[in-house]
Structure 1
Amino acid sequence: MSVNSTGSSATSEAGAVEVTLKVGQNKYLSAAPASTGPPGRAEMHAIIEVGVSDGGHASASGRREGTGAALAEVLIVDTSKSMLHPETKLHAAKDATVAAIRLLPDGTPFAVLSGRFDATVVHPGSGTEALAVADPRERESAEYAVRMLDADGGTALGPWLDLARRLLHGQDAPVKHVLLLTDGRNEHDDRTEKRLEKVLRACDGQFICDAWGIGDGWDAEVLLSVADQLHGHAAAVRDEAELPSAYEELMDRLLGTALPEVRIRLVPTQGTEIREVKQVVPSEQTLRPAGAEPETRGTEYVTRGWADEIRHYQVVLAADPAGRELGEDLQLAAVELQVPETGSPVRLPAPQPILVNWTDNPDDVSRPHPGVARHQLYQQSYEAVAEAYRAWLRGADGRARASAELARALSLADRLGDTRMRDELLRVADRDATPPHEVHVRDDLKHVDWQHLILSSSVTTPPEPGEAPGYAAAGPGDPGPAGDGVGELVQCPHCEWLGPAGSRFCGGECGRPLGEPA
């Protein structure tokens, strides 16, 4: 992969995008045989914090200095018959789409699709699968086409996304993005053939998709599955009038993209297995291994669409303590960040290690890293909301269970200090002001209230500053922040293995003393 970067010790260039990396973990694992999983293997959970800052150089025009158009955009409008009940949904969808079109900088490739049982291009509307190029005339023409939209038919997301994929194929804009809006469930896709699942697999890696719900008939799980597979976000508006401003905020974020992608490369040492990599802040998303160039070390995971922001990722590794020394820092994997060539300077951090220290002291392994523990609480909260919804669907028979699960979710929100989550839960639950603060599911709920809650419960927040992922959990001998000794790496001059500073022997293929000349 072509990379334009400097090391973390280099002087920052004016206008450079800076990428940061911290690794947080409790490095202590029990040397005793594992009670779960394959015999002899134990799991190490680490939190990787990745940050991107462009120094404020991304402009409102959607271009960074010295670059071309940042974006190729496809706007999908649900025009199924339900969008007319009430008509305010369709009017809001038109207003929002027009607002997005007006923000497209000149030179931006774009198209507008109408989605029903199938999808059609309403602009440029030439009958060919091509994109228009934004300029005053094209924006005006697209606005007219949007204003003329009517609604009929059903909802089938698979064909909509597949047409977007074909339109964006071959586009060279750094960010290829689809904005999908629907008011219904994916009821008219071919479920026996699992068409949506097949389309999502075909679209993975081709573009980012943000999936939005409007009205009261959309399905949160479908929006989340689209966003998870296509590296986007799932969201919804409670009031149709909120949609145009929400679209404007989204377009501003897209046009301020600092980096189209950042690749997380994990280089495990011999005998270490990568079990899972997923984003955990600002929402949970599964990361899948990406195809790497020949001769590339390790496994790469692609993250897309970076503005000025910080995201957290959880890495799960498995290793066998058999034959390993106790009380010694050993490397399980190296974490490296890579970016594509952008035409602008990018300052990348030095690689960081994920370590293990095998121990027979149970106190050392009893404290999970704060970031890992926090994500476990969020998982429990999401599961509690899902179970509460399933119980509510059973009517009076499930009311007590729904109340109990909402009480559990509220307790978790309090532990997390997540006031946003707590406020969303209190939209569907009443909590007594006096002890024992019993929780009761509300009487007047609709399905859409639960769909909003499910979406909201998928959003996560980072730990407080004192629990930052770059800090190891307290334990005997921990020096403190990652980077103060433990976080530094040395490279073997013989086989290019990367290992913890202070290592005396190579942990790679050659096993030679690190002091020997190359």
Structure 2
Amino acid sequence: MTVARETEVTLAVGQQKDLPAVPPQAGGAPDREMHAIVEIGVSSHGGAGPATGHAPGSGPALAEVLIVDTSRSMLHPPAKLRAAKDATVAAVRMLPEGTAFAVLSGRFDATLVHPGPGSPVPAVAGPAEREAAERAVRILDADGGTAIGTWLDLARRLLREQPAPVKHVLLLTDGRNEHDHRAAMSLETALDACEGRFVCDAWGIGDDWDAELLLRITRRLHGRAGAVREEAELPAVYEELISGLLGTAVPELRIRLTPTPGTVVRRVTQVVPSEQELPAVTAGAGGRGAEYVTRAWGDEVRHFQVVLAADPTGREIGEDLQLAAVDVVVPDLGRPVRLPAPQPILVRWTDNPLDASRQHPGVRRHELYQRASAAVAEAYRAWLRGPDGRAAANRALARALALAAELGDTQLLGALRRIEDGPGTDRVRAGLKDVDWQHLILSSAMTTPPEPAPAQAPSAAPPGTGAAPPPGAAAPAPAGADALAECPDCKWLGPADSVYCGGDCGRLLRGPSA
């Protein structure tokens, strides 16, 4: 007997509910912003084999377009083009029977390598089509320039009529979008046309790719940006990516926000595992409020920051009031899906400035990541100035290292130490290449959730608190958490354990140079 595979979706809201009810200064807006962290998890149970995200017998779950940069620079060194061919072939071989797929060659324009120029639809995976695609990939040569907008637009047209619930593009480039002005479609126009149509992962290879370009593409198209340090690593990376796509548990998940009267949704941003702004769409099936679309979920947990605005005028002080309801909407997958109950986002208006100054740990963590990423960008810009920017680059690197340590992010710390001139020096290492910085910029864009609080020994824990808090709940406040730190420059008030000022000046508050 076959056991039906069941998918479970979990939802938790973490927030610090207190907001100041004190009237603003003259001319200021009366609204206050509530920042909440919404934690959503997807997990699959039972059944055999990977989750496929579609109903049995309803067709393949995936439609795939593989884009290979074949600009002239891919021949310098030739190992780049060889690795790109090997990786593309490895990906094609993994596609299940019946999967719609295409391979594109990208230069000044985009050429359909397989199923062949002029074909209006992708090929359908099977032994003959996979072998034909491999032959076509093996004879690829490189010439011309780079105009990525045209590559993405051809992928969009090929995927437009595909019924597969997961439409995915895997893009590889070794350079920068230097010939956008010569292209039939600019990158920005292409991103506008492609947004919401498919998910795109973008990868860099070689020594001259642009991290900001990859992030710009993947943030708009809800994918992942990455790069390999050695060309030979690429086939294994492609196999891992395709395997993850074939294990998709939920092709699309929507976060539905229904605000109460007087509440405005300012923005919804994915903050773990990377930052992505989510545009609002009208709630389906006559629902009130708005929905925010996310795609291609495996068994994983993601965090989202929800920012709501509300006016405290005339509201009760010290009472929990609902600002909005959060719900999760999943399309019919043709198999059991357990959805969570809606959760409220609350506010408690207070006239106590100490209560109003506290932040939820998840909100603060996201702010620390934003500062760390900004510090990396600042260090890179200073490094580009040569000897004149060395001191500024060192200061920005020291700030990024301190923030990564405060976050406890070992991956980011490791990436930062790759460019540091020895442990603890806080100086940029001599002899760096630009590609070293590009890898660091990608690393600083990846985020992690906080480590779960360890269970306390029964003798040290109050009754009933021996376990870690549930997902999304605020961690217990450390000793002295009610104390505040004041920045001597801009007078910002914040938690006493702040390393840097959270105001405009960004001054170091703790440490040897504070």
Interval of TM-score (by shorter of Structure 1 and Structure 2): 0.7 to 0.9
**Aligned residue identity for 1:49:** E
Is 1:452 aligned to residue 442 of structure 2? no
Which residue does 2:512 correspond to in 1?
Answer: none
State how 1:285-364 maps to structure 2 within 5 Å. Answer: 285-293=276-284, 295-364=286-355
Cα gap change, 1:369 to 1:464, in 2 (>3 Å): same
**Aligned residue identity for 1:417:** G
Which of 36, 41, 47 is equivalent to 1:51? Answer: 41
Q: CA deviation at 1:367?
A: 1.7
Q: CA deviation at 1:190?
A: 2.1
Cα gap change, 1:318 to 1:204, in 2 (>3 Å): same
Partner Cα distance (1:244, 1:373) in 2: 38
Which of 386, 392, 416 is equivalent to 2:377? Answer: 386
Which residue does 1:9 correspond to in 2?
Answer: none
Q: Deviations over 1:144-198 (max 9, x none)?
A: 0000100000001000000000000011101000000000100011289981111
Cα gap change, 1:384 to 1:56, in 2 (>3 Å): farther
**Aligned residue identity for 2:96:** P
Q: CA deviation at 1:267?
A: 0.4
Which stretches in structure 2 are left out of the alignment for 5+ residues? 454-468, 478-514
State how 1:115-126 maps to structure 2 within 5 Å. Answer: 115-125=106-116
Which of 402, 419, 426 is equivalent to 2:417? Answer: 426
State how 1:107-506 maps to structure 2 within 5 Å. Answer: 107-125=98-116, 127-190=118-181, 195-293=186-284, 295-432=286-423, 437-466=424-453, 470-472=472-474
**Aligned residue identity for 2:438:** Q
Cα gap change, 1:191 to 1:399, in 2 (>3 Å): farther
Cα gap change, 1:330 to 1:279, in 2 (>3 Å): same
Partner Cα distance (2:470, 2:132) in 1: 49
Q: CA deviation at 1:464?
A: 1.4
Partner Cα distance (1:422, 1:88) in 2: 30
Cα gap change, 1:473 to 1:330, in 2 (>3 Å): farther
Which of 23, 34, 37 is equivalent to 1:33? Answer: 23
**Aligned residue identity for 2:433:** K
Cα gap change, 1:203 to 1:303, in 2 (>3 Å): same
Q: Deviations over 1:306-353 (max 9, x none)?
A: 000000000010100000001111000000100111111111000000
Is 1:85 aligned to residue 76 of structure 2? yes
**Aligned residue identity for 1:203:** C
- TM normalised by structure 2 equals 0.86
Partner Cα distance (1:28, 1:255) in 2: 43
Which stretches in structure 1 are left out of the alignment for 5+ residues? 1-12, 476-518
Cα gap change, 1:191 to 1:19, in 2 (>3 Å): farther
Q: Deviations over 1:439-489 (max 9, x none)?
A: 1101110111100000010000001112765214669xxxxxxxxxxxxxx
Cα gap change, 1:228 to 1:150, in 2 (>3 Å): same
Partner Cα distance (1:169, 1:95) in 2: 27
Cα gap change, 1:57 to 1:408, in 2 (>3 Å): farther
- Are the equivalent residues in 2 in contact too, given 1:278–1:314 (CA < 8 A)? yes
Which residue does 1:510 correspond to in 2?
Answer: none
- Are the equivalent residues in 1 in contact too, given 2:53–2:251 (CA < 8 A)? no
Structure of higher RCO (CA pairs closer than 8 Å, 6+ residues apart): 1
Cα gap change, 1:241 to 1:65, in 2 (>3 Å): same
Partner Cα distance (1:37, 1:118) in 2: 53
- Are the equivalent residues in 2 in contact too, given 1:288–1:301 (CA < 8 A)? yes
SS in structure 1 opposite 2:271?
strand
- Are the equivalent residues in 1 in contact too, given 2:67–2:105 (CA < 8 A)? yes
SS in structure 1 opposite 2:427?
strand
Partner Cα distance (2:93, 2:25) in 1: 59
**Aligned residue identity for 1:445:** L
Partner Cα distance (1:406, 1:468) in 2: 35
SS in structure 2 opposite 1:340?
coil
Partner Cα distance (2:197, 2:122) in 1: 16
Report which stretch shifted further, 462-471 or 147-156.
Answer: 462-471
Cα gap change, 1:468 to 1:408, in 2 (>3 Å): farther
SS in structure 2 opposite 1:74?
strand
Cα gap change, 1:375 to 1:137, in 2 (>3 Å): same
Is 1:94 aligned to residue 85 of structure 2? yes
- Are the equivalent residues in 2 in contact too, given 1:58–1:64 (CA < 8 A)? no
Aligned length: 459
SS in structure 2 opposite 1:92?
helix
Q: CA deviation at 1:62?
A: 5.0
Q: CA deviation at 1:201?
A: 1.0
- Are the equivalent residues in 2 in contact too, given 1:62–1:105 (CA < 8 A)? no
Cα gap change, 1:29 to 1:409, in 2 (>3 Å): same
**Aligned residue identity for 2:212:** E
Q: Deviations over 1:76-108 (max 9, x none)?
A: 000000000000000000000000000000000
Q: Deviations over 1:120-143 (max 9, x none)?
A: 101000522210000011000000
Partner Cα distance (2:298, 2:325) in 1: 25
Partner Cα distance (2:299, 2:278) in 1: 21
Cα gap change, 1:278 to 1:458, in 2 (>3 Å): same
- Are the equivalent residues in 2 in contact too, given 1:77–1:115 (CA < 8 A)? yes
Partner Cα distance (1:48, 1:34) in 2: 28
**Aligned residue identity for 2:36:** A
Partner Cα distance (2:242, 2:363) in 1: 32
Cα gap change, 1:65 to 1:206, in 2 (>3 Å): closer
**Aligned residue identity for 1:26:** Q
Which residue does 1:24 correspond to in 2?
Answer: 14
SS in structure 2 opposite 1:465?
coil
- TM normalised by structure 1 equals 0.85
Which residue does 1:513 correspond to in 2?
Answer: none
Q: Deviations over 1:400-443 (max 9, x none)?
A: 100110111011111111111011001111245xxxx4311011
